């Protein structure tokens, strides 16, 4: 009782002053230790800079701002990868909706498509990353439980067929819905793209995708300068920064200029058919209308634009 009265006013109490001094010293030490603990942040790659930090969402950039951004990215690629690249920005074509079909009777599982994707899209060399994953499946069903993506023997093996899986460019894409910041969206021509400079890397889209189509840049991609594909575009195959999502874009830097995707050109058996779903005379339309096509996990209602079919 008397203690409590004696303690007031607290300010002038010598014990309190000593305590306050000790606390201040402690807090200072604590702050210094905190700063020391956070030191690795100072060694961030130069791509994390003020311009990048303040950059607006792709769809809000004016043409002038885009020019500045692309130039900056080209310079950064030169600086960090010692490669001279051009970053273009091809726009969706009018009356074009891309579709892809894959003939499972023809595919022999040679992984040439995955390899072409790896080279075309400037993937990290060490992880041998590719947007295409080829599954060796047991004849007699479409059961991924019996599938194996790590086979390494001459193909096609007896009793097996092969099922390459890549982004299905869903009409009703769960990844687009999931993204909290609209860093991924569906373009007019049906291609789901990612703004690599807007993504925060929460990987919710990767959890949402039923097709294992999305990839995360777990570290900064490493590519030797001479192997960098210099023909790049902002929304597709430019070298991705660390810590963001990436995905197959049907090679939009090629396909929006009328060219075939890299995986199709690489296919030695012609198992792949690509084209404009809105053109009734296109090959893709002929396949859909005349072959028994199916889509993966149709029951999920994602409405893929990637079709599989068998011959007769």
Partner 1 sequence: MNVSAGKMLFIVGLFSISAFAVQMFASVENSEEIAIHPKADDAPLFPVKINPANQLAEIPTDRKDANGNPVLVSCQSCHGVRNPNPKNGSTGPLVSFHQDLSFVHGKLVCISCHNPEGSYSDFRLASGESIKPEDVMQLCAQCHGPQFRDYQHGSHGGMTGHWDLRKGMRQRNHCVNCHDPHKPAFPLFRPAAGPNDRFPPHHTKETHE
Partner 2 sequence: MVEAQNPPSPAPQNTSVVLNYLGFLRRATGVATDGKWYFYVWMIIMFGIALVGANAWAQQVRDGMIVTNMSDHVSWGLYIANFTFCVGLAAGGVMMVIPAYLYDDEEMHQVVIIGEAVAIAAILMSTLSVVVDLGRPDRFWHLIPGIGKFNWPLSMLTWDIIVLNGYLLINLHIVGYLLYMRYLGRKPNPKWYVPFVFLSIFWAISIHTITAFLYCGLGGRPFWNTALLAPRFLASAFVSGPAFIILSMRVMRLLTDFHFSPKPANTLIRIIRVSMCVNLLMLFSEIFTLFYTGGTHASSAQYLFFGSHGANGLVPWMWTSMFLNIVGACLFFTPAALRRENTRIVACLFCIVGIWIEKGMGLIIPGFIPSTLHEVVEYSPSIIEWKVTAGIWAFGLLVLTLLLKLIASVFTYDSSRTITTEQNAGLDETNIKSIPVETIS
Cβ atoms within 10 Å, residue 229: 18
Classify 125 in phi/psi space as left (phi over 0), alpha (psi -120 to 50) or beta: alpha
Q: Which stretch binds partner 1 (CB under 8 A): 7-15, 20-28, 83-91, 277-285?
A: 277-285
User: Applying CB under 8 A, does 106 fall inside the site for partner 1?
Assistant: yes
3-state secondary structure (DSSP) of residue 140: coil
The nearest distance, CB 204 to partner 2, in angstroms, is 5
CA–CA gap between residue 182 and residue 117 (Å, rounded): 26
Quick one: how far is CA 5 from the chain centroid?
67
User: Applying CB under 8 A, does 263 fall inside the site for partner 1?
Assistant: no
CA–CA gap between residue 50 and residue 47 (Å, rounded): 9
The single residue among 24, 270, 301, 303 that binds partner 1, judged by CB under 8 A, is 270
Backbone angles phi, psi at 277, to 5 degrees: -65, -20
Please, which residues have CB within 8 angstroms of residue 1's CB and are 6 or more apart in sequence? none
- Residues near partner 2, by CB under 8 A: 1, 3-5, 7-10, 15, 19-20, 23, 30, 33-34, 36-41, 43-44, 48, 53, 57, 133, 135, 144-145, 147, 149, 165, 174, 177-183, 198-204, 206-212, 214-220, 241-244, 297, 300-302
The nearest distance, CB 283 to partner 2, in angstroms, is 27
Cα dist from 207 to 8, 175, 243, 269, 290, whole Å: 59, 8, 16, 33, 35
* Residue 276 contact among partner 2, partner 1, none, beta carbon within 5 to 8 Å by kind: partner 1
* Residue 287 contact among partner 2, partner 1, none, beta carbon within 5 to 8 Å by kind: partner 1
Cβ distance to partner 1 smaller for residue 60 or 281 = 281
For partner 1, the binding residues in 150-189 under the rule CB under 8 A are 150-156
* Residue 108 contact among partner 1, partner 2, none, beta carbon within 5 to 8 Å by kind: partner 1
User: Applying CB under 8 A, does 255 fall inside the site for partner 1?
Assistant: yes
Cβ distance to partner 2 smaller for residue 92 or 243 = 243
Q: Closest Cα to residue 248, out of 170, 312, 148?
A: 170
CA–CA gap between residue 200 and residue 54 (Å, rounded): 13
* Residue 112 contact among partner 2, partner 1, none, beta carbon within 5 to 8 Å by kind: partner 1
For partner 1, the binding residues in 127-156 under the rule CB under 8 A are 127-130, 133-134, 146-156
The nearest distance, CB 72 to partner 1, in angstroms, is 30
Burial (CB count within 10 angstroms: exposed 0-12, middle 13-18, buried 19+), residue 215: buried
Cβ distance to partner 1 smaller for residue 110 or 173 = 110
Burial (CB count within 10 angstroms: exposed 0-12, middle 13-18, buried 19+), residue 66: middle
Q: How many CA atoms lie within 13 A of 167 on its CB side?
A: 31
Positions in the binding site for partner 1 (CB under 8 A)? 93, 101, 103, 106, 108-112, 114-115, 126-130, 133-134, 146-156, 218, 255, 257-260, 264-265, 267-270, 273-276, 279-283, 286-287, 290-291, 311-312
């Amino acid at each position: 009782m008397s203690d409590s009265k004696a303690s007031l006013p607290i300010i002038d109490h010598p014990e309190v002053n000593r305590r306050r001094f000790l606390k201040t010293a402690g807090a200072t030490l604590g702050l210094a230790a905190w700063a020391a603990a956070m030191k690795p942040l100072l060694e961030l790659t130069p791509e994390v800079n003020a311009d990048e930090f303040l950059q607006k969402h792709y769809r809000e950039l004016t043409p002038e701002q885009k020019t500045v951004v692309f130039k900056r990215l080209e310079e950064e690629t030169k600086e960090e990868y010692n490669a001279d690249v051009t970053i273009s920005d091809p726009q969706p074509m009018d009356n074009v909706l891309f579709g892809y079909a894959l003939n499972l009777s023809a595919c022999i599982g040679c992984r040439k498509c995955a390899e072409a994707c790896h080279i075309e899209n400037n993937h990290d060399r060490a992880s041998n990353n590719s947007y295409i994953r080829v599954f060796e499946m047991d004849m007699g069903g479409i059961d991924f439980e019996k599938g194996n993506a790590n086979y390494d023997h001459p193909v096609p093996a007896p009793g097996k067929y092969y099922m390459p899986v890549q982004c299905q460019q869903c009409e009703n894409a769960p990844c687009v819905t999931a993204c909290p910041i609209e860093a991924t969206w569906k373009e007019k021509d049906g291609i789901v793209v990612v703004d690599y400079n807007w993504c925060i890397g929460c990987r919710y889209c990767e959890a949402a995708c039923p097709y294992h189509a999305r990839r995360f840049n777990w570290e900064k991609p490493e590519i030797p300068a001479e192997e960098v594909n210099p023909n790049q575009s902002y929304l597709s195959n430019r070298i991705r920064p660390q810590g963001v999502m990436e995905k197959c874009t049907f090679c939009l830097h090629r396909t929006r200029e009328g060219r075939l995707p890299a995986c199709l050109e690489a296919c030695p058996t012609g198992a792949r058919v690509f084209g404009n779903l809105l053109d009734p005379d296109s090959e893709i339309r002929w396949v859909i209308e005349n072959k028994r096509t199916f889509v993966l996990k149709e029951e999920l209602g994602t409405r893929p634009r990637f079709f599989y079919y068998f011959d007769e």
